[in-house]
Amino acid sequence: MAVADERTILCVVCGATRSELLSVPADRRSPCPTCGSAQAQLKLTLDARVVARGSLGFKVRAGRPGKVAPHVEGRTGDSFTGSTGRWSKRVTRIDRLKDWYDEIVTDEKTGEVIHECHEPLSDHRGHGAAKRKSSST
């Protein structure tokens, strides 16, 4: 999120812009050039930009009685890529009936393909949730 701010010191009585810092004690402030008051207030304006990110996934389980895992599933959308430290677009498709795994990760800004994998699902081991957990002894 990008944030910009603007700070203005105003006279409390007449609203005129003051050139003095708000940190100056009240008894040492110079009077307002418009009305003569020593009272000041800080007007702070914030401008922020928020970017929403998301992804969409699907799972197909029809036609496989007794099977828990979906026979086809996929996801497409935004994904944070740790290796680059930036957001990317990720498209993943897993087809258990055809024993196939597809994944393409593209840099969001440049369009460069960061990672691409097309292989039999049975060969797709040691990635993501399938990574071996390190033993802490």
User: In sequence order, what are the beta bridge partners of 44?
Assistant: 7
Amino acid identity of residue 48, one-letter, is A
Domain ranges in the chain are 2-49, 55-129
- Render pLDDT for 99-135 as a digit per residue (tens, 0 to 9): 999 999 999 999 999 999 999 999 988 766 565 555 5
pLDDT at 22: 64
CA distances from 104 to 1, 79, 114, 115 (A): 27, 11, 8, 6
